[in-house]
Structure 1
Amino acid sequence: YFSICSITPAEIMEKSNITTDFILLGLFNHTRPHLFLFIVVMTIAIASLNGNALMLLLILLDPRFHTPMYFLLSQLSLMDIMLVSTIVPKMAADYLTDKKSISPAACGLQIFVSLTLGGGESFLLAAMSYDRYVAVCHPLRYPVLMSWQLCLRMTVGSWFLGAMDGIMQAAATLSFPFCRAHEIDHFFCEAPMLVRLACADTSVFENVMYICCVLMLLVPFSLILTSYSLILSAVLHMHTTEACRKAFSTCSSHLSVVGLFYGAAIFIYMRPKSSRSANNDKVVSAFYTIFTPVLNPLIYSLRNSEVKGSLKRWLRKCANVKPQQT
């Protein structure tokens, strides 16, 4: 008897095409505790969509927020909305209907979108750190050093680099033959999980993917560290307590988001293969795809007096309009 992976490449491709769909085993089982967790996750996902949509709306409608800083923040909210919208509806439908299949095209789309948004957000956070550096260290030259032209270039560059990473990894991952059971022990298609099912030598691709992820994470992270090192140096030379407080207030929100994003991303993509487990990967993936997006608008709104003031004005305006309509 021969193992299935000892047959010819042509037979492998033939067998891999017998079952065209993958099976997502999901995050929850049909038990009472898991049903409760599912409701919690769905509540958080809905809150994430509403919070980021509200942040986008405030930035769009309030002229005070028509600055490079808040434009970059609006792109962060847009990325979070797209990430939650790509992952959560499919996960919820699979759990409620118990139909866990996903086509290769849909699987590739999830890989592409998640990597595009992950890589894009990495470079976007670097752009935001540069914006904070200019605001703290060179406030008088801010309109020149952080012009709208440069802001748009950094934003387009973030989306472009993320999309290139997503296209390459999605195409390469789905090009492998899958001769094992097409069961993915995850709640969405993620490249590292899918590669484990490949009936081929994936060592070269895994090494390239690892190097690519290191570059996509560490290059922006080094820029962020450089920006905040310069900011810290400038803050230490400030002679007034009020100036220090304002500088820390300006940067603390962004640093919180950076810590959440890079902590989860490094755990998923930069760990050695020997230390990975499906359960840990699912928990951390749920954190950065569902929980982190709801924290971003909360961090930026609760720690930003301008955002809180704009929200209060908007709520008062809505309250004043309703009685007139009735």
Structure 2
Amino acid sequence: MGSQKKTDDVAMAEFPIPDAIRVCQAALEMAGGYSPSDAEIITQHLVDAECRGSPMAGLARALSIIDHLQESPDKTKSSKDIEITSEGPSSVRLNGNNVVGYLVAHRATELAIEKAKSCGVAIVGANDFWYSGNLAYYAEMATKRDLISVIVSNCSPLVAPEGAAEARFGTNPMCIGFPTSEKDRPVIWDIGTSNIMHAQIMRAQRLGISLPEGAAYTKEGQPTTDPALAIEGAMTVWGGHKGSGLAVMIQLLGMAAGSSARPDGLSGFGYLVMMFDPAILRPVDEVKKEADEYAEWLRSAKPVEGGRPVRMPFDGSYERRKTAVECGTIRIPTILIEQLRKKGAK
């Protein structure tokens, strides 16, 4: 591990949210070549991740996007390159044409919302993109329109199945979103099927910090906490054989959406969103009311001795974002701020 530091050793700063938006968007426009509208879509996603306490999916990802574009000049940059290849009353298939997934998945989710509001149900698949982003962000787009969603995304082999030390599937997140009476406090369960995310490795490498124990293997199959060695090796799977099985199925669902079952490198990912309007089954207000009552009943469960209060999925994100918005700042490593400013000044 050598020069790797602990997370606590990284210098942090309280950064005003409007400044974070401005600096990130400028970096994506100047160094990434994105249009103002595309840069805004990506930036809003990344800043929201920071506000919700998910820094591995936050501003550091903007630097990874820029680096990848500069290393791969064949990558297309504009949302205008996203192509609808087939469409039905309740379905759409998109080809991302090598555009970053923050734009592809955003467009796919918008189309799914349109179809679900019109037909009651929708299924939208997208392929040929890279970096899908935080699936909870897309699920919240749906819950704000009183829609229920199930979203999955696959990627290139980065994670070792249970009992193996060699990558065979992606980090493969899965997300379920359910609306409640509070638009900004839905029930959203968003997990990755690896113990850590690829973005966490990239952020750790950028900051010079170590990974958690038991999170990755070297290419020789030995446990490691060094992000550079983990990138060459494999991440460990979440949830033992159950998480491993879920990851396999997500890999295949992404393939059904149009990707290869084995995407090559940082490209060719698959995104599948299934969405429906609960009004096709029972009144929406009734569904949300029962969800509200169930959430309060679950939160009232007696915690284990010395434990924290019981929470619903997304409660932590809601509370952290509420605090960040009220304070008007997010806590960011100073080195990331400096790097983003340099990119935006070019």
With structure 1 as the length reference, what TM-score do the two structures score? 0.28
Higher helix share: 1
Rg larger for: 1
With structure 2 as the length reference, what TM-score do the two structures score? 0.26
